[in-house]
Amino acid sequence: MAVKTNKEYTAMQHEIATAEGVVRSQEDRLLDLMEISEKESADLKAAEAAMKAEQAEIAKQQQALDAERGTQEAELQRLSAERDMVAAKVSPEAMAIYVRVAHGRRGIALAEAKDGLCSVCHVRMRPQTFNEVRRNDGIHQCESCTRILYYIQPPAAAPQPS
């Protein structure tokens, strides 16, 4: 109402159009941000649902591992008791050799003698040593890795039908 000339009126309309354009662009930007927000909100809900499902799966696996750990601990206790019973039957000298070799060889103190070879280090034994090991009448150690050797008799061949 304070405008007196057409030139001022045109300038005022131009300012109004510019202000409406700025408002329109801000409203469009706001709508775009709202759409992005809705999309990300839906993604967040899906991710939360996936996370809950994953947490349920992890909890189930944790329970299974706990149950397995319990059975493994029970088995360890049973085997430890069995080992102690067997160790009590072994002579102290033999046990000292076993402990010394096991300590030096990462817990593996025994090796099978098979086909004249130590099955762990794969070094060929002297024939006399292999024959002594085959008799299983004493403690014999591999000359290479010092593990205690044992021999398992192979099963007898089945008779062939005539």
109-137 pLDDT, tens digit per residue, is 899 999 889 999 999 999 999 999 998 88
Query: Mean of the pLDDT values across residues 21-35?
Result: 95
CA angle 149–133–87, rounded 5-degree value: 50
List, in sequence order, every residue forming a beta bridge with 113; answer none if it has no partner. 118
159 vs 162: CA distance, rounded Å:
9
At 53-88, the pLDDT tens digits run: 999 999 999 999 999 999 999 999 999 999 899 989
- Look up the pTM and report it: 0.53
Q: Give the Cα separation of 107 and 98 in Å (integer).
A: 10
Give per-residue burial for 96-116: e unless 16+ CB within 10 Å, then b: ebbeebeeebeeebebebeee
| Type of residue found at 92 | P
